Amino acid sequence: MIREVTHGMEAPALPRPSKRQRLASMCSAAGMLPGLTSLRQVLRKDLRILAYHRVLQVDDPAAFAFDLNEVSASPEQFQAQMQLVKRDYDPIQFQDVLAAWNGGAPLPARPLIVTFDDGYDDNYHIAFPILRGLGVPAMFFVSTGHIDSGQPYAYDWLVYMLCRTRATRLTVPELLLDEPIPEPLEGRRALAKELLFHLKGLDAVDQAAVIARLAGAWKMLPEPHAQCRPMTWDQLREMRDAGMEIGAHGVHHHILAKLSPAAMREEMRESMETLTRELGAPVDVLSYPVGGPDSYDAQVIEAATQVGFRLGCNYITGVNRLPTTAHFDLQRLSVESEMDLDWFAAMTAMPEVFAHRKRVRLG
């Protein structure tokens, strides 16, 4: 049930990020972060994996009808973050991890990987030039069905519909939901955030049915949109040729553990085959769509191994202590747009204290 939302106002589920931001600013001003980072490196060695979605400048949120929560950083923020990564860490690729685990060159002292999920075209137009200019590699996990079609991602389209519909009520019997749709855009965004969280608890077939039913009822069938456009194969090939890695994120961005076993295996097999055909080489790394604790399980990992993947990334907050055998349980640190540079520096230095805590479903 979605009962904590009333007239578009969301009950807070997490500590306010500003507390961590203020603490990060204090630590930075006191000059504590370099010492804390050095001490941590003496005590343990970790593989940090940063997780981004979109790098985008949204000057007028009222004119942007898609999910603002998917905007991880502005171009200016991302440039500063990657400069810090290059200065304070050793940016590597997943191929370096695989090589080290197979007896090759050991990983450097401060290994860090930059990743992007989904495959938005701002990754190519904005993030890629910054990365290339600084010489920082990154992994781009893409949903191949959207690269093929150019259609917005289903969850993004759901947010768009809620932001722009003229309907006055949102009714989703599968979630025991019947709520008025608030007029202010801020309230609609809060309602969309709550709807998405609970919708992702349904199986993939029911999720698709809900979105399709609302699109039909509101006469807002999905169509290509300039504000939410996937990358193209030509763009991905150019990025790969420039040293970026391309990984799998399913075909239709379905939550793998919410599919039937046969459909789940097919989703991974087809994404692997499409990427191999379009990019000319097998793909080793998979990012589980959505990536929370209920998004993948032992059955998903077994199928991923059978398809030919060698590593899997979730979206669970954490770092990966080295050496590790959790090749299909690699945790990441999500980067969020409200992070200033002090918070980003503190988060990478001391993730247990400063990492952004994702709200998760447990089943």
Residue 295 has pLDDT above 60, yes or no: yes
Residue 2 has pLDDT above 60, yes or no: no
The whole-number pLDDT of residue 122 equals 98
The whole-number pLDDT of residue 12 equals 36
Residue written as token pair 């989904």: 118
Confidence of residue 260 (pLDDT cuts 50, 70, 90): very high
Q: What secondary structure, in 3-state letters, does the chain show?
A: CCCCEECCEECCCCCCHHHHHHHHHHHHHCCCHHHHHHHHHHHCCEEEEEEECEECCCCCHHHCCCCHHHEEECHHHHHHHHHHHHHHCEECCHHHHHHHHCCCCCCCCCEEEEEEEECECHHHHHHHHHHHHHCCCCEEEECHHHHHHCCCCHHHHHHHHHHHCCCCEEEEHHHCEEEECCCCHHHHHHHHHHHHHHHCCCCHHHHHHHHHHHHHHCCCCCCCCCCCCECCHHHHHHHHHCCCEEEECCCCCCCHHHCCHHHHHHHHHHHHHHHHHHHCCCCCEEECCCCCCCCCCHHHHHHHHHHCCCEEEEEEECCEECCCCCCCCEEEEECCCCCCHHHHHHHHHCHHHHCCCCCCCCC
The whole-number pLDDT of residue 11 equals 36
Q: What is the mean pLDDT of residues 223-229?
A: 95
The whole-number pLDDT of residue 4 equals 34
Summarised one tens digit per residue, pLDDT across range 122-175 is 999 999 999 999 999 999 999 999 999 999 999 999 999 999 999 999 999 999
232 burial via Cβ count (<10 Å: 0-12, 13-18, 19+):
middle
The whole-number pLDDT of residue 5 equals 34
CA-to-CA dists, residue 271 to 39, 56, 90, angstroms: 42, 26, 30
CA-to-CA dists, residue 301 to 206, 265, 310, angstroms: 23, 10, 10
Closest to 71 in 3D by CA, of 52, 54, 57, 50: 54
Residue 313 has pLDDT above 70, yes or no: yes
Residues near 114 by Cβ (< 8 Å), separated by ≥ 6? 50, 52, 82, 85, 91, 131, 136, 137, 138, 139
Summarised one tens digit per residue, pLDDT across range 32-85 is 777 777 767 767 889 999 999 999 999 999 999 999 999 999 999 999 999 999
The whole-number pLDDT of residue 361 equals 59
The whole-number pLDDT of residue 10 equals 36
Confidence of residue 357 (pLDDT cuts 50, 70, 90): confident
The share of the chain scoring above pLDDT 70, in percent, equals: 93
Residue 13 has pLDDT above 50, yes or no: no
**Residues 289, 271: Cα–Cα separation, whole Å:** 12
Closest to 111 in 3D by CA, of 160, 184, 49, 52: 49
Residue written as token pair 């077994």: 302
Confidence of residue 224 (pLDDT cuts 50, 70, 90): very high
The whole-number pLDDT of residue 31 equals 76
The whole-number pLDDT of residue 362 equals 52
Average pLDDT over the chain, rounded to an integer: 91
23 burial via Cβ count (<10 Å: 0-12, 13-18, 19+):
middle
The whole-number pLDDT of residue 3 equals 36
Beta bridge partners of 140: 116, 246
Structure tokens at 122: 């701002």
Q: What is the mean pLDDT of residues 228-252?
A: 97
The share of the chain scoring above pLDDT 90, in percent, equals: 80
Residue 360 has pLDDT above 90, yes or no: no
**Residues 207, 318: Cα–Cα separation, whole Å:** 28
Dihedral of CA 126/129/135/137: which sign? positive
The whole-number pLDDT of residue 16 equals 55
Beta bridge partners of 113: 49
Structure tokens at 339: 């992070």
The whole-number pLDDT of residue 28 equals 75
**Residues 267, 261: Cα–Cα separation, whole Å:** 10
